Amino acid sequence: MKRLVVIVYVGFLLAPFLHAQDSTPAPPPVEPQIPGQQPGPSRSSPPGQAVVPVPVPVAPPKPNGPVQKSLVRITATAVEPDYRAPWNAGGLQRGVGAGFVISGNRILTNAHVVANSRYLTVERDGDPNKYPATVQFIANDCDLAVITVPAPDFVKNMIPLKFGGIPALESTVSAYGYPIGGERMSVTTGIVSRVDFQLYSHSSIDQHLAIQISAQINPGNSGGPVMQDAKVVGVAFQGYSGDVAQGVAYMIPTPVIKRFLQDISNGHYDEYPDLAITYAKLQNPAQRRFLGLKDDDRGVLVSSVVAAGPSDGVLRQGDVLLAIDGHPIASDANVEVEGERAQFEEVVERKFKGDSVKFDILRDKQPMTVTIKLYKPWPYSVQGHSYDVRPRYVLYGGLLFQPLNLDTLEAYRLSDLRLRHFFEYFILDQIYLQHPDVIVLSNILPDPINTYLAPYRGGIVDEVNGKKIRTLGELADAFAQAPERLVIRMIGDGPPLVLDRNKVEAARERIKTRYNVAKEQNLQERPEAAESKQANKT
C-alpha–C-alpha distance, residues 401 and 466, integer Å: 18
Q: Which of residues 258-297 bind another protein (CB under 8 A)?
A: 278, 280-287, 289-291
Is there a catalytic annotation at residue 143? yes
Comparison of 104 and 318: residue with beta carbon closer to another protein: 318
Which positions from 471 to 510 touch another protein by CB under 8 A, shown as an x/- string?
A: --------------x-x----xxxxx-xxx----------
The answer to whether residue 45 forms part of the interface with another protein (CB under 8 A) is no
245 or 454, CB closer to another protein? Answer: 454
CA distance 469 to 256: 40
Q: Which residues of 408-428 are buried (b: 16+ CB within 10 A; e: fewer)?
A: bbbbbbbbbebbbebbbebbe
Question: How many Cα atoms are found within 13 Å in the side-chain-facing hemisphere of 8?
Answer: 30
In terms of CB distance, is 240 or 380 closer to another protein? Answer: 380
Q: Which is nearer to another protein, 129 or 502 (CB)?
A: 502
367 binds another protein (CB under 8 A): no
Catalytic residue from among 112, 202, 208, 435: 112
Contacts for 426 with CB less than 8 Å, ≥ 6 apart = 379, 382, 383, 404, 432, 438
Please tell me whether residue 428 binds another protein under the rule CB under 8 A.
yes
Give the residue among 5, 10, 11, 96 at the shortest CA–CA distance from 55. Answer: 96
Give the number of C-alpha atoms closer than 13 A to the C-alpha of residue 388, restricted to the C-beta side. Answer: 20
Residue 165 engages another protein in binding (rule: CB under 8 A): no
How far apart, in whole angstroms, are the C-alpha atoms of residue 112 and residue 98? 11
Find the catalytic residue in 44, 70, 141, 143: 143
Q: Does 32 bind another protein (CB under 8 A)?
A: no
> Which of 25/47 has CB closer to another protein?
47
Whether residue 460 contacts residue 523, with contact meaning beta carbons closer than 8 Å, is answered with: no
Question: In this chain, which of 187, 301, 406, 438 binds another protein, going by CB under 8 A?
Answer: 301
Between 274 and 424, name the residue whose CB sits nearer to another protein: 424
Q: What is the DSSP letter of 355?
A: -
Q: Does 365 bind another protein (CB under 8 A)?
A: no
Question: Is residue 162 near another protein by the rule CB under 8 A?
Answer: no
Binding of another protein by 316 (CB under 8 A): no
CA nearest 400: which of 319, 486, 512?
512
Residue 111 interacts with another protein (CB under 8 A): yes or no: no
Q: Is 327 a catalytic residue?
A: no
Q: Is 399 in the site for another protein (CB under 8 A)?
A: no
Give the nearest distance from C-beta 493 to another protein in angstroms.
Answer: 4
Choosing from 44, 222, 331, 442, the catalytic residue is: 222
Q: Are 317 and 304 in contact (CB under 8 A)?
A: yes
Beta strand ranges found along 386-504 (DSSP E): 393-396, 399-403, 439-444, 461-464, 467-468, 485-490, 497-500
Catalytic residue list contains 112: yes
287-to-217, 331, 335 alpha-carbon distances in Å: 46, 12, 21
DSSP 286-317: HHHHHTT--SSSB-EEEEEE-TTSTTBTTB-T
At its nearest, how many Å lie between another protein and the CB of residue 490? 10
Indicate the residue among 145 and 306 with the shorter CB distance to another protein. Answer: 306
**From the CB of residue 321, how many other CB atoms can be counted at a distance below 10 Å?**
23
- Residues lying near another protein in the complex (CB under 8 A) are found at 7, 11, 278, 280-287, 289-291, 301, 303-304, 317-318, 415, 417-418, 420-421, 424-425, 428, 451-453, 455, 485, 487, 492-496, 498-500
What residues are labeled active site?
Answer: 112, 143, 222
